[in-house]
Amino acid sequence: MSVGNAILAVLATIGGIASIIQIRLWIQNWQNSRVDSFSAVERRGLDLLRQIKTDGFEPDFVLGLGRSGAFLGGWLAGNLGSVPIEVIDRIHKANATDPMEFPYCAEKIGLIRCIYGEDASVLVVEGATTRGTTFYQFEKIREQQAPYWKCRYCVLYEVDTSTFHTQFVGQRMNKAPIRYPWHKTPEYKDFIRLSKGLSVL
């Protein structure tokens, strides 16, 4: 093989390697930009764990709000050293702009307060927030029922339109996605489809 052909062969090899690296970077960027897979939940969840541990906050229990807060809160509680987990559900209205309901929220806070005390440290968790409505409504009830709880708020995905001060955020976004990882059937969140005309698949 001539020197010229050898050089061309080396350049072709280098070009091939560079292309493979570039493709891998594109794939990684695409994966990191996705929010509708559970691998994204794990990535952002690990980041939340790092934030909480770096902050030094040690909750007496984790409180999940709604279904997304329930499973994310359980995951965080386990990975924070098997901290106890509690859940308060909420119900969305058909119109997404209507206030949501917290069935028996005051009663549940009262019961939880009896278990963990008047001045418990609480990590309050939600899966995603667009305007901070869930946190605002919970905080309003919490201030009446457990005014001495020391609460820190944690969310996996926060849209820039949220005005609530959330201490721990997995990922901030400039707009809400069509679906989150837990939106796998049309029945999960009818209000999204009804209010936006979107099909949650």
Question: Could you report the per-residue pLDDT of 80-129, keeping only the tens digit for each?
Answer: 999 999 999 887 666 555 666 788 899 999 999 999 999 999 999 998 88
The answer, yes or no, to whether residue 200 has pLDDT greater than 90, is: no
Q: Where do the domains of the chain lie?
A: 1-33, 35-196
pLDDT at 131: 85
For residue 139, which phi and psi values (nearest 5 degrees)? -60, -35
Which residues face 64 on adjacent strands?
87, 125
Among 138, 148, 156, which residue's Cα sits nearest to residue 68? Answer: 156
- pLDDT number for residue 132: 87
Its pTM stands at 0.73
Residue 33: which residues within 8 A CB-CB, separation 6 or more? none
Q: For residue 112, what pLDDT is reported?
A: 96
CA distance 70 to 74: 6
DSSP E strands in 52-197: the ranges are 61-65, 85-88, 121-129, 150-159, 168-173
**What's residue 128's pLDDT?**
86
Residues 155, 166 contacting (CB under 8 angstroms): yes
Q: What residue type is assigned to position 186 of the chain?
A: P
Report helix, strand or coil for 81: coil
Domain 35-196 has CATH 3.40.50.2020: yes
pLDDT at residue 201, rounded to an integer: 28
